[in-house]
Amino acid sequence: MRLLASILALLTIASAQAAPPASLSSRADAYLAPYVAGNNFSGSVLIAQHGRILLRQGYGLANRELDVPNTPATCFQIASISKPFTAAGVLLLVEQGKVALTDPVAKFVPDFPHGNEITVEHLLTHTSGIPDINGLPAYGELSRSPQTPASLIAAFRNAPLDFAPGTKYAYSNSNYNLLARIIEIVSGLDYGTYMRERVFSPLGLKATDHPANAADLLPDRAAGYAPRGATGIENAPYLDWTAKTGNGSLHSTVDDLYAFHNAMVADKLLSRATREKIWTPGTGNRFGWFVRQRNGRLVISTNGSSPGFTTVMDYYPAEDLTVIVLGNVYIGAIQSPIATDLAALALGEKRDPPPVRPIAVAAKDLERYAGEYQFGADFPYNRNVKVKVSVQDGTLVMDWGGAFLTPMFPVAQDDFLLRRFWAHIVFTPTGLVYRDAKDYSAPRVVPQH
């Protein structure tokens, strides 16, 4: 009887230990179902805590035309989650004494303008003042053909600095193009080969790589999609991923990213001193990571967004909780609220997906919102930008300049959803408010006549 009682007790404990993953799986499925049904999420999710995987699941379709589902083995472009990998590649050279954070860029690229003023650490922390290559007029054409770090640097080398190096923070993909080139010069290897030999292979990351040739076949690759209209989906515009070498070119899986995360936590890739330096709270994105407070908890986060893909990897150190979401739809909901809410679900909190149901508004009634609006210097996505709101084909559209248009869909009185960014535009008597994690006001400056 004692043996039977002991067995029953052990079975009870095992059952209790197995319950949380099943419970989280069902709650996550229920939470994500409206996003998947509304074409606002498809991808793969991995959630782990205390070294135990609680959820590892694919959602929606990796290829909509062939009806292929996403699985945990699906390979996604990870966009700017590439930056922590590039930073790790540079920091390995720092630990080997081949590079110093205080080294000027001119030491490696002698003819780079202001190269004696800009340091390696300025590049790693987005404080160099070098303008973002993505915002340059030539980037659209450049991004559709094969590139190297050297050719990318040539595209922005003569652009004036936005500020004196080290005086401000401004996120710029150009910094990581330069870091990729420094890796090549110091190591004598091209960026992809160096990352494979020094980072991916030592960590056993078999699905993570830099696609040096767009013609190469990639097993289990997810196709990338973009939103069309209020609920539709279309193929994302073509991008040659070498145009993002160093800052956003890598592809990976949730399993490989979890292995990379574990290596970072256990100091198997970089030293503890290096990890503590890069995972210390600071301004903006440093060494490829954001270290900040979210819902009252410290989170170490990295995320990415490029045509067809949106990605996030969050680590809550106090809770030892890791949330990885890789999506093949170019919609900001994946980063927020989805990843944040999945973390809350894993911690036993209740979260419901926000009700986003477009409502009908007559085109003539939309005209009252038309006009020009001016954001201030506090608007982090495009400081001081002036936007024009107009009605096109019965839909309210925001023109950000440079032929960048985003449609807005009414979800409540004076409340419109920017589906691409998963942000709300709320119109007020004097202007509009851009609402996501925070509110940013833009007064009306030119009414529509």
Full 3-state SS string of 322-341: EEEEEECECCHHHHHHHHHH
Residues 119-136, mean pLDDT to the nearest whole number: 96
Instruction: Give whole-number Cα distances, 14 to 9, 27, 32, 236, in Å.
Output: 9, 21, 28, 46
- What confidence score (pLDDT) does residue 9 get? 41
CATH code reported for the domain at 363-447:
2.40.128.50
More confidently predicted of 90 and 21: 90
Q: What is the pLDDT of residue 380?
A: 84
308 torsion bin: left (phi>0), alpha (psi -120 to 50), beta (else): left
Give the model's pLDDT for residue 288. 98
Q: Does domain 77-346 correspond to CATH entry 3.40.50.620?
A: no
Rg over CA atoms, the chain: 23
pLDDT band at 401 (very low <50, low <70, confident <90, very high): confident
**pLDDT digit string (tens) for 81-109?**
999 999 999 999 999 999 999 999 999 99
C-beta neighbour count of 199 within 10 angstroms = 19
Is there a contact between 155 and 142 (Cβ–Cβ < 8 Å)? Answer: yes
Please compute the mean of the pLDDT values over residues 163-189 and round it to a whole number: 97
- Burial class of residue 18 (count of CB atoms within 10 Å of its CB; 0-12, 13-18, 19+): exposed
Domain boundaries of the chain, sorted by first residue: 77-346, 363-447
**Cα-based distances in Å from 209 to 36, 164, 193, 197, 249:** 28, 34, 9, 11, 8
Give the pLDDT confidence of 434-443 residue by residue, as tens digits: 998 889 999 9
What are the phi and psi torsion angles at 245 (to 5°)? -55, 125
The stretch 172-193 carries a mean pLDDT of 98
pLDDT score of 23: 87
pLDDT in tens, 228-255: 998 899 999 999 999 999 999 999 999 9
Which contiguous run of DSSP H or E holds residue 46? Answer: strand 43-49
| Residue 204 pLDDT exceeds 90 | yes
Q: Which H helix or E strand runs over 251?
A: strand 251-252
pLDDT range class, residue 409, cuts 50, 70, 90: very high
CB distance 260 to 218 below 8 Å: no
Rounded (5°) CA angle 385-390-396: 105
Is the pLDDT confidence value at 17 over 80? Answer: no
Residue 149 parent element (H or E): helix 149-156
Q: What is the pLDDT of residues 283-322, one digit of tens each?
A: 899 999 999 998 889 999 999 999 999 999 999 999 999 9
Collapse the DSSP code of 225 into the 3-class scheme (helix H, G, I; strand E, B; otherwise coil) and give the result. Answer: strand
CA diameter of the chain: 88
Is the pLDDT confidence value at 323 over 60?
yes
Cα–Cα dist 53/61, whole Å? 23
Give me the pLDDT at residue 247, please: 98
In this model, does residue 5 exceed pLDDT 70? no
